[in-house]
Structure 1
């Protein structure tokens, strides 16, 4: 299973986009590949898939610092709609950081630039952080206690 929650293996799902062998054909594919790029810490791909006007606001170093500070554990696509001039993908990305479970719930806007889908911006919905105890079940679904799995 790919990091983005698709059934296909990473090598057949998101890796061809991240490696540059293929280009995402939909905004949802781009969203999924950006998530997977965060998991594998490919900050360059994430920066390159921002819309041109947004790239100057996001350095490879800042992207990598965030990707390295968290453990992404799941992605859920809530809705996706493609249009000729832009698309919207709403998703929830769950991650662990500093012994807390966090959910990034965003409604993202994508545009086509030179025939390629790019992330423009998004609206982030507030979500509560959940503090994890060492003996809690790990939220990654491993069935292990948190202290034996993702505890820092």
Structure 2
């Protein structure tokens, strides 16, 4: 999905939504890879292996796999970045995943497509939205950073 279908933070027009409440992470890890098609399964495997090592429940690992797959795929296909980085942190209740690239997104010229049943592309960010409690894309001259939060356990005081 092209970046033009996102509601983007622009200092002159929009402010990004408030970041969700943040607690001190119990675990943090990151990995980068060349922004090629092989980065998608490699970074998905890294994310899932990490989450399992942190004893994250299988249902949340499945959602993490989907989110990492979609966000890394978008970076590979649309950013013209030479590399892509995935950072994951866990605070005991929420997994936060960041996907960063150093490219400049290529805008789509046509209006956003409506996802049709027989179309295989164009649903990625909708899936991310449905799989997370919060997500946002931040654009800068240095690249794009997409942050997504996945609830793993109920938040406690």
The two structures share one fold, judged by TM-score above 0.5: no
Normalised TM-score (structure 1): 0.29
Q: Which has the higher contact order (CA 8 A, sep 6+)?
A: 2
Structure with the bigger percentage of strand: 1
Q: TM-score, normalised by structure 2?
A: 0.28
